[in-house]
Amino acid sequence: MKILVCIKQVGDDGDMNRFDAHALEEALFIKEHSDNTMPEPVSVDIVTAGPSTAEKIIRRAFGMGADRGFHIVTENSDYISSFVTAFGLSAVAKKTSYDLILTGIMSEDMMAGQTGPMMAKILNLPCATGVIKIFLPLTGKTIKVEREMENGFRDGLVILLPAVLTIQAGINTPRYPCLSNMLSANRKQILSLSSEDLFWEPIRARESCIGMEDPEKARTGRVLEGSVADKAAQLFSFLREKNLI
Amino acid sequence: MKQILVIAEIFKGRIRPVTWELVAGARKIAAILSQTRNIPGKHLPCIQIIVPSDNPKPLAEKISEQTGNAVIGLQIPGFKTYTSDIYIDCLGQLIREMTPTHILAAHTSQGRDFAPGLALELNAASISGINHIRFDETGLFYSRPVLDNTKNMLVRPDPDRPVMLTLMPGVFKPDSHKKGKTKQVDILKISFGSDACENSRIQPTKILKRPCENQALKGAKIIVAAGRGVEKKENLELISRFADCFSSSAVGASRPLVDMGWIGYEHQVGITGTIVAPEVYIACGISGSSQHIAGMKDTKCVISINKNPTAPIFRHSDICITADVLEFIHAFLTLPDPV
Ligand SMILES: Cc1cc2nc3c(=O)[nH]c(=O)nc-3n(C[C@H](O)[C@H](O)[C@H](O)COP(=O)(O)OP(=O)(O)OC[C@H]3O[C@@H](n4cnc5c(N)ncnc54)[C@H](O)[C@@H]3O)c2cc1C
């Protein structure tokens, strides 16, 4: 069984998107708990689309235990459409016939949550988003999961493989990279690709970013001034006035 | 005539209220288009609401009655529970025969699940999680939260194709007084194989409800809620002591604390936890994500303690306290009693 995990670098520190770390952890957990129950051994590949600095999270993924790493090297850009990313990742996914593709429910920076379900459509695979539980061990042609909905509801699903799942936080606790993996990670080769390697002509986004704004205030917000003790005293008298303390 | 399409959100055979918000969003788009495109002889897009179900007539009639808009009952034989496979295929079949400019769904666990795939099926642009609908001389554009809710990104779709939008729940106010005359209800039958459920690659087994005993949260006058800013599980003890200062209080938490196993799920406030509206909500080291805010925005008075003066939670607060939350609570607990 072959698993692909799509990961993204986010934030000023250039770390792995938190939700993708949960997806990778889940893939590694499946590998460890289904190796004996599946007809063939389980492998976990990762792919990322991002600037050259994204190598950092590929090394981290190797450190956690990923087998192969693909890197679609993109320009450093403020806005990359989920649509374009989904096509790039799908092109890599098509090269190997994966049984399971996992990614985070959304990225912490763009917060769109579109890449996973778009990949599923491009690859013509079934898709479930916000997966909070996967039932192990895997045995064959289907996968049993629970998808999270609002207000504590969950949707139990049995999905035909191959499939795309987007993973919600709370499903597991991502492991730290281990030292022995980290050492071999540095020797591991990253398979780098450019979008020219993947497409005849560039994939064009269907929308563009035209600016950024500070969100407006929903409430007036009186800012308490002074030392920490002053602020504590002010809060105390405010609550006392309201008869709450 | 072109259409602005709204996909009604149906859960367990019922219309979810977010549907009325989608209609409000569609009306806003229609109003902007009529204001900006005064082209004689050209028809403005009309709003149509689509209700997928195996028996859509009663739902469709109810929606039409409530909104006064035209409703299409999309009848899918054998359809029982939502799956993305069925929605993308059947809505795709239906909408391909139409000429929509905009297709609206909710940015909920359901809308997020099918909208991106449906957009590709229809060769449409796709923008998710919209919190404002705006326009300028070039036309409509949309704002959506990014970067942990610290910024809004303004996004404009290409004008030469339809756009699929998912709207943030709780942002667009349903306008109940704007009821029109009851319009047409059409029932259209579209099949997903001979039996929708059997043909789906996704088989729903059952809908589960995570047990949550949230009466304490619902009943409290004051909720003291902890976020990742409390730094360590052990510090929740301090949060409890803070909450004990008040007579009717309960401890709430942001989701990561529940995910990490620091505190039970019954304490989680937010869209995937409990929705609360106490008299006072004290957010301790909570950044203010849209999913958390959606769970407490009807609170009377919001007080926030956060060490980052630009934390998004301060935009949703009546009293803003920039401080290390642990230091602040210590200071509060050791105040000389002013009585
Ligand atoms: C589909 C979906 C559903 C979700 N549902 C929910 C939900 O129901 N409820 C929910 O809460 N979240 C939910 N989330 C998660 C949400 O997106 C955020 O990740 C989460 O709310 C962040 O929690 P936080 O504010 O505690 O942590 P962070 O965002 O990490 O914020 C921590 C804050 O603490 C401050 N801080 C750090 N140290 C200190 C200190 N010493 N003193 C004072 N301040 C400090 C920081 O400045 C920061 O603002 C959901 C996410 C998704 C994708």
Question: Domain with B166 in it: what CATH number?
Answer: 3.40.50.620
In a domain, B196, yes or no: no
Across the beta sheet with A2-6, what order do the strands follow? Answer: A190-194, A68-73, A43-50, A2-6, A100-104, A163-167, A127-134, A142-148, A153-160, B202-209
Pocket mutation for ligand 1, best pick of B210, B292, B293 (most atoms within 8 Å of C-beta): B292
Residues B226 and B329 in one domain: yes
Ligand 1 centre distance from Cα of residue B229 (Å): 8
Residue A239 lies in a domain: no
ipTM over 0.85: yes
Whether B194 is in a domain gets the answer no
N residues, chain B: 339
Residue A154 lies in a domain: yes
Q: Classify residue A209: in a domain, yes or no.
A: no
Contact state of B205 with A152 under an 8 Å Cβ cutoff? no
Interface check for A229 against chain B (CB to CB < 8 A): the answer is yes
Q: Is A244 within 8 Å of B272 when comparing Cβ atoms?
A: no
pLDDT of residue B212: 66
What is the predicted pLDDT for the residue at B41? 53
| Distances in whole angstroms, Cα of residue A129 to Cα of each of A146, A228, B105, B207 | 10, 44, 16, 15
The confidence score (pLDDT) of residue B128 equals 98
Is the CB of residue A24 less than 8 Å from the CB of residue A4?
Answer: no
Assigned domain for A212 exists: no
Q: Which two tokens stand for residue B154?
A: 């303004």
CA of B143 to the centre of ligand 1 (A): 22
Query: Is B207 a member of any domain?
Result: no
- At B244-258, the pLDDT tens digits run 999 899 999 999 999
The predicted pLDDT at position A196 comes to: 81
Specify if A203 maps to a domain: no
* DSSP 8-state symbol, A40: S
Domain membership of residue A159 (yes or no) is: yes
Domain assignment present for residue B304? The answer is: yes
Q: Which residues of chain A have pLDDT under 50?
A: none
What are the C-alpha distances in Å from B52 to residues A75, B74, B189?
42, 5, 10
- What pLDDT is recorded for position A37? 81
In a domain, A221, yes or no: no
pLDDT tens profile B37-66: 655 556 678 999 999 999 999 999 999 999
Q: Is residue B338 part of a domain?
A: no
My answer on whether B31 and B128 are in the same domain is yes
Instruction: Give yes or no: residues B146 and B267 share one domain.
Output: no
Number of domains in chain A: 1
Which stretches in chain B have pLDDT values below 70? 37-43, 176-182, 212-213, 338-339
Helix, strand, coil tally for chain B in percent (to 5): 30, 30, 40
Ligand 1 contacts CB of residue B295 (under 6 A): yes
Pair B236, B175 in one domain:
no
Sign of the alpha-carbon dihedral angle for A41, A123, B94, B110: positive
Q: Are residues B223 and B182 in the same domain?
A: no
Q: Which uninterrupted H or E stretch holds B332? A: helix B325-333
What is the torsion angle, in degrees rounded to the nearest 10, for the CA atoms of residue B218, residue B10, residue A169 and residue B151?
-90
Specify if B205 maps to a domain.
no
Determine the pLDDT at residue A187. 84
Global pTM reads 0.94
Q: Is A156 on the interface with B (CB under 8 A)?
A: yes
Residues B123 and B70 in one domain: yes
Q: What pLDDT, on the 0 to 100 scale, is given for residue B339?
A: 46
Q: Which domain holds residue B319?
A: 215-333
Domain total for chain B? 2
Report in angstroms the alpha-carbon separations of A29 from A64, A65, A66, A180, B57.
Answer: 11, 10, 11, 18, 46
Range of the structural domain that residue A73 is part of: 2-198
- The residue of chain A with its CA nearest to that of B130 is A112
- Return the residue whose CA atom lies nearest to atom 39 of ligand 1: B229
**A110 interaction partners in chain B (CB closer than 8 Å):** 146, 153
